[in-house]
Amino acid sequence: KPIGVPTAVVRRPRDCTMCRECIRDTDKHSFGKSIELRRKADHFIFSVESSGCIAPERIVREAIGVLGEKAKKFQMLVTEYENKI
């Protein structure tokens, strides 16, 4: 963004659903060319819901374990692929 140019920023980014409504031209407004809609490449929101049977902390720990195992498997597949090239 250029220095000195007024800029608006989403007040509560977690409430933004990326619906793109803000950049759509309508009879009421035409902000499309003035708004830049983008996501942070290295950012994601991880939310956990529990009915109460299992503590959210336990769910997160177990999910991290599953994710770690999947990452190891993916790394193994990448290494196998690279070795075939």
Token readout for 68 is 């770690």
Beta strand segments in the chain, E:
none
DSSP H or E segment with residue 82: helix 56-84
Residues sharing a CB contact under 8 Å with residue 59, sequence separation 6 or more, in sequence order: 48, 50
Q: Is 66 in contact with 35 (CB distance < 8 Å)? A: no
Residue 78 has pLDDT above 90, yes or no: yes
Query: Taking 60 as the threshold, does the pLDDT of residue 1 lie above it?
Result: no
- pTM higher than the cut 0.85: no
Q: What is the pLDDT of residues 13-69, one digit of tens each?
A: 778 877 887 777 766 666 666 777 777 778 777 778 888 899 889 999 999 999 999
